[in-house]
Amino acid sequence: MSSDAIAIPSAGTEARTWVEVVHEWVTTVDHKRLGILYMVYALIFLVIGGIEATIIRIQLMRPHNDFVSPQVFNRMFTMHGTTMIFFVVIPVVFGFANYLVPLMIGARDMAFPRLNAFSFWLTAFGGFLLYFSFLGGNGLYGAGNAPDVGWWAYAPLTSRAFSPGHSSDYWTIALLVSGFGSIGTAVNIIATVLSMRCPGMTLGRMPLFAWLNMFMAGLVILAISPLTAAQVMLCVDRYLGGHFFDTQAGGSATLWMHFFWIFGHPEVYVLVIPAFAFASEIIPVFSRKPIFGYPVMVGATACIVFLSLSVWAHHMFTIGMNSYANSFFAITTFAVGVPTGIKIFNWLGTMWGGKIQFKVPMLFCIGFLFQFLIAGLTGIMQGAAPFDWQLTGSYFVVAHFHYVIVGGILFALFGAFYYWYPKIAGRMLNETLGILHFCLFLIGFHLTFDVMHFPGILGMPRRIYTYEPRPGWGILNLIITIGAFIQGLAILVFVTNLIYSYFKGRKAGNDPWDAWTLEWSVSSPPPAYNFASIPVVESRRPLWDLKHPEDPDSRYE
Amino acid sequence: MSAVTSPIAERSLDWKLPYKGKVGMASLIIAESAIFTIFVVAYLFYLGKSITGPTPREVLETPIFFSICLLSSSLTIHLASKELENGHRKTFLILWSITIALGALFLFGTAMEWHRLIYEHGLTISTNLFGTTYYSLVGLHATHVTLGLVMLSIVLLFGLADRVGTDQSARIATLSMYWHFVDAVWVVVFTVVYLIGR
Amino acid sequence: MIRSDQIRKLLSKAAGIAVLLAGALLAASLCFAAPGNPSQLPSIFDTRSTPTKWIGHLSYFVLSITGLIFVVVFSLLVYAVVKFRKRPGDDGREPAQVYGSNQIELAWTVIPILIVVVLFLATARVIHSIQDAPKPGNAVEVVAIGHQFWWEFRYPQLGVVTANELHIPVSEAAHPTPTFLTLLSADTDHSFWIPQLAGKTDLIPNRVNHTWMDPYQTGIFLGQCAQYCGTQHAKMLLRVYVDSPQEFATWIHAQQQPAVLDENVNAGKRVFETTACINCHAIGGTVADGRFGPDLTHLMSRQTIASGAAENTKANLRLWIQKPDAIKPGSLMPAMQLKNADLDALVDYLETLR
Q: Which residues contact C94 (CB under 8 A, 6 or more apart)?
A: A288, A289, A355, A548
**Alpha-carbon distance A306 to A317, whole Å?**
21
Whole-angstrom distance between the N-terminal and C-terminal Cα of chain A? 27
Q: Which residues contact C298 (CB under 8 A, 6 or more apart)?
A: C162, C254, C255, C259, C353, C354
C209: three-class secondary structure by DSSP: strand
**pLDDT of residue C149 exceeding 60:** yes
Residues of A in contact with B37 (CB under 8 A): 226
- Touching partners of C (3+ C-beta pairs < 8 Å): A
Q: Which residues contact A225 (CB under 8 A, 6 or more apart)?
A: A183, A263, B31, B32, B33, B34, B35, B38
**pLDDT of residue B58 exceeding 60:** yes
Looking at chain C, the whole-number percentage of residues with pLDDT higher than 70 is: 89
Strand ranges inside chain C, DSSP E: 140-147, 150-155, 160-163, 165-169, 179-185, 190-194, 198-203, 209-213, 219-224, 237-243, 304-305, 310-311
Confidence (pLDDT) at A148: 94
Considering chain C, tell me which residue range(s) the CATH 1.10.287.90 domain(s) occupy: 2-35+44-89+98-131
If you count them, how many residues does chain B have? 198
- The superfamily (CATH) of domain C263-350 is Cupredoxins -  blue copper proteins (2.60.40.420)
A111-137 pLDDT, tens digit each: 999 999 999 999 999 999 999 998 875
Give residue A94's pLDDT band: very low, low, confident or very high (50, 70, 90): very high
The string of DSSP codes covering C267-287 is HHHHHHHHSTHHHH-B-TTSS
Confidence (pLDDT) at A13: 54
Tell me which chain A residue has its CA closest to the CA of residue C124.
A327
Tell me which residues of chain B have a C-beta less than 8 Å from any C-beta of chain A.
Answer: 1-9, 11, 13, 15, 17-21, 23-24, 27-28, 30-35, 37-39, 42, 45-46, 49-51, 124-126, 128-129, 132-133, 136, 140
Residue among C105, C125, C132, C181 with most chain A CBs within 10 A, to mutate = C105
Domains assigned to chain B: 19-196 (1.20.120.80)
**Alpha-carbon distance C222 to C241, whole Å?**
9
- The superfamily (CATH) of domain C140-256 is Cupredoxins -  blue copper proteins (2.60.40.420)
Nearest by CB: C42 against A254, A296, A470? A470
Tell me which chain B residue has its CA closest to the CA of residue A4.
B3
Confidence (pLDDT) at B14: 82
Closest approach of A450 to chain C, Cα-based (Å): 6
β-strand partners of C155? C160
Q: Which residues contact A303 (CB under 8 A, 6 or more apart)?
A: A336, A338, A339
Q: Which residues contact A387 (CB under 8 A, 6 or more apart)?
A: A381, C55, C58, C59, C62, C123
Confidence (pLDDT) at A135: 82
Closest approach of A466 to chain B, Cα-based (Å): 37
**Helix runs in B161-198, H state only:** 169-190
Confidence (pLDDT) at C13: 67
pTM above threshold 0.90 = yes
Domains assigned to chain A: 32-555 (1.20.210.10)
The closest alpha carbon to C225, from A163, A461, A70, A76, belongs to: A461
**Alpha-carbon distance C13 to A446, whole Å?**
10
**Cis peptide leading into residue A226 (ω within 30°):** no
Put simply, whether C75 touches A (Cβ < 8 Å) is no
Residues A140-166: what's their mean pLDDT? 85
Residues C163-167: what's their mean pLDDT? 96
Crossing angle for the helix pair A411-425 and A360-383, to the nearest 10 degrees: 150
Radius of gyration, CA atoms only, chain B: 22
Residues B123-144: what's their mean pLDDT? 97
Residues of C in contact with A356 (CB under 8 A): 80-81, 84-86
A162-182 pLDDT, tens digit each: 998 889 999 999 999 999 999
Question: Which residue type does C62 have?
Answer: V
Considering chain C, tell me which residue range(s) the CATH 2.60.40.420 domain(s) occupy: 140-256, 263-350
CA atoms within 13 A on the CB side of A177: 18
**Alpha-carbon distance A540 to A516, whole Å?**
8
Residues A261-280: what's their mean pLDDT? 98
Put simply, whether C113 touches A (Cβ < 8 Å) is yes
Looking at chain A, the whole-number percentage of residues with pLDDT higher than 90 is: 93
- CATH assignment of C2-35+44-89+98-131, among 3.40.50.1370, 1.10.3720.10, 1.10.287.90, 1.10.1370.30: 1.10.287.90
**pLDDT of residue A207 exceeding 70:** yes
C19-32 pLDDT, tens digit each: 666 656 655 555 55
